[in-house]
Amino acid sequence: MASDSRDSHAGAVEKPEDAWTVGRLLNWTTDYLRKHGSESPRLDAEVMLASVLEWERVQLYTHFEDVVGDIARQGYRQLVRRRAEGTPVAYLVGRKEFYSLRFDVAPGVLIPRPESEFVVVEVLEAVKGRGAVRVVDVGTGSGCLAVACARHLPDAEFVAVDLSPEALPQARKNAARHGLAERIEFIEGDLLGPVADRPPFDVIVSNPPYIPAGDIESLEPGVRDHEPRLALDGGPDGLTVVTRLIAEALPLLKPGGHLILEIGSPQEAAVRDRIAAHPEYTLLPTIRDLNGHPRVVHAIRS
């Protein structure tokens, strides 16, 4: 990606044969990032270039032959370098799409994953047609679960809890972005402790830390070196937080209330066993993601 003196905007200059067009940049960057270990090099290239150009990703394909000028290309080069060094794309561009909504993220806040969208689907299905339900999201992070659910449940009341003082400002910002600042109460605290004196809820939902502590060093470098350990580390077996949450949820769920948890795919049997150890819960079938991996465990309080 050699530098030249062209304008900073795509399409602003004439195109010699060796010009850095949108298409040429994307192809070069995709190959470069693939060689540097990116699991999604084409997507990474597109997201970063669209961010630099202040476009939607789809515009890249309608301007494939446009030339990208010098200033924009310099900014893009810096993002590509940092991505090759392992920084997650979401932190580089400051945002991530989740459930067709934009969520701002920054270091110290777990990046929303597509797999967590299955949690949202399960919550919406669980309370379908019930109107003014009360929901608490434990370990809210960016606020993605609470915000996505609240957008589709206009009569519901939401509380979102997180232990991280870094995460909560981002979660509040994301709620405000989507017009939900008045409908979601954000509280700093450990698991369900901050709401332990409140009336029982209709739904308790969580994407808790579930990575075994000994496995964290073997994670993909972008996760291991950049995402908050507090949101990843589930203790020696990955189930320390989950086990606490299952027990704490019992007195805070209404009869017929729902406990909905995202899990690591190898943990299905262990999590279901921990829930089954409490006879007050009735387990529903585990929800699997698009790859067929166990992803969401759902139990109902009797």
| SS3 assignment, position 19 | coil
In a domain, 10, yes or no: no
- Is there a domain that residue 79 lies in? yes
Residue 227 lies in a domain: yes
Pick the last residue of a domain from 57, 85, 113: 85
DSSP 260: E
Q: Of the residues 85, 113, 136, which one is the last residue of a structural domain?
A: 85
Taking a C-beta distance cutoff of 8 angstroms, is the pair 173, 230 a contact?
A: no
Do 207 and 138 lie in one domain? The reply is: yes
The count of structural domains within the chain is 2
Do 148 and 167 sit in the same domain of this protein?
Answer: yes
Residue that terminates a domain, selected from 34, 64, 85: 85
What per-residue string of b and e applies to 105-120 under the rule 16 or more CB within 10 Å gives b? bbebbbbbeebbbbbb
Within this chain, do residues 131 and 172 fall inside the same structural domain, yes or no? yes
Alpha helices in 5-143 (DSSP H): 22-35, 41-53, 57-62, 70-84, 89-93, 117-126
Instruction: Compute the distance between CA of residue 126 and CA of residue 128 in angstroms, rounded to an integer.
Output: 6
Contact 80, 33 (CB under 8 A): yes
Q: What is the DSSP string of 73-87?
A: HHHHHHHHHHHHTT-
Residues 213 and 81 reside in one and the same domain = no
Alpha carbon distance 293, 268 (integer Å): 9
Indicate the average pLDDT of the chain.
Answer: 93
- What is the tens place of the pLDDT at every residue in 45-78? 999 999 999 999 999 999 999 999 999 999 999 9
What would the mean pLDDT of 120-141 be, rounded to a whole number?
A: 96
Same domain, 99 and 49: no
Do residue 31 and residue 155 come from a single domain? no
Task: Give me the mean pLDDT over the 173-193 stretch.
Answer: 97
Same domain, 213 and 259: yes
297 neighbors 272 (Cβ within 8 angstroms): yes
Query: In the predicted model, what is the mean pLDDT of residues 235-259?
Result: 97
Exposed/middle/buried for residue 176 (C-beta within 10 Å: 0-12, 13-18, 19+): middle
Q: Are residues 229 and 126 in the same domain?
A: yes
Token pair of 194, please? 């901050």
Same domain, 222 and 259: yes
Q: Is position 9 within any domain?
A: no
Report the predicted TM-score, pTM, of the whole model to 2 decimal places.
0.90
What is the CB-side half-sphere exposure of residue 158 using CA atoms within 13 A? 31
> Do 54 and 128 sit in the same domain of this protein?
no
Give tens-digit pLDDT for 24-51: 999 999 999 999 989 899 999 999 999 9
Coil, strand or helix: which one is 31? helix
Angle between helices 22-35 and 41-53 (to 10 degrees): 140
Domain containing residue 36: 22-85
34 within some domain: yes
Cα–Cα distance measured from residue 248 to residue 282, given in angstroms and rounded to the nearest whole number: 16
Identify whether residues 78 and 110 lie together within a single domain. no
CA–chain centroid gap for 98, Å, is: 6
- 103 and 78 share one domain: no
Task: Tell me if 208 is assigned to some domain.
Answer: yes
